[in-house]
Amino acid sequence: MNRVEITGISSKLRNLIYEHSAEADIPAGTEVMYEGQYIKSIPILTKGLIKVFSRYEDKELLLYYIKPFESCIMTFDASLNQSPSRVYASTEEDSSVLLMPVEKVFKWMKEYPEMNQLFFRQYNVRYTELIEMINQILFDKMDKRLYEYLKSKAELKNQNPIKISHREIANDLGTAREVVTRVLKKLEMEQLVSQEAGAIKVM
């Protein structure tokens, strides 16, 4: 793995992170965290895309994506409180991560103020995203939620058409596949999307 620049921190802290962290390349579609798991390391994503979601019975709900140079605040929270994970995470693309040992992270937080800022910024970003998601669930109709989801997905993956199934969309939005199929047909009639074999294009 090529060394990348972690912005917002001093070169001394950056060197310590690389010295004490494990580096891992993870194929797309790999589950990297599950509910009930105890956290031994906190990741910084250096390449790719990771989806963080919750699951109840046979339903899933997308919480947020971890993008390059971001960490998982739910992982940080679980390790801080020495509690098991309450969420799942899986790679959407081939990804590379730095795995920082929990005990080292807490030590660095005491010695380097910018380490605290790194996670405080993440808290702020995730809090804003979760509030927006709750507002969408409560106040937006499914056609708007689905269209905004597809636009965001196309931007995140830098891909249009998006290779995705109706089942995957339903899982991310916490709804039924039949609902997604029906709403996609409506969006297609409104010329907001077009469907191809195994892919959806945002117009």
| Shared-domain flag, residues 125 and 169 | no
Could you tell me the two tokens for 160? 């249009």
CATH number for position 55: 2.60.120.10
Query: Is residue 2 assigned to a domain?
Result: no
Is 183 within 8 Å of 146 (Cβ atoms)?
A: yes
User: Is there a domain that residue 94 lies in?
Assistant: yes
The count of domains in the chain is 2
How far apart CA 98 and CA 46 sit, in angstroms, is 7
Determine the structural domain holding residue 148 and report its residue range: 141-202
Indicate whether 129 and 72 sit together in one domain: yes
Same domain, 81 and 167: no
Q: Specify whether the CB–CB gap between 174 and 139 falls below 8 A.
A: no
**pLDDT at site 139:** 64
pTM: 0.76
Examine residue 1 and state whether it is found in any structural domain, yes or no: no
Kindly report the CA angle at 69 between 65 and 72, in degrees rounded to 5?
A: 45
Residue pLDDT, tens place only, 137-196: 766 688 888 999 999 888 888 888 889 889 888 888 888 889 889 999 898 889 998 888
Residues 55 and 76 in one domain: yes
100 shares its domain with 88: yes
DSSP code at position 68 = T
Residue 3 lies in a domain: no
Segments of the chain scoring below 50 in pLDDT? 1
CATH for 189: 1.10.10.10
List, in sequence order, every residue forming a beta bridge with 195; answer none if it has no partner: 200
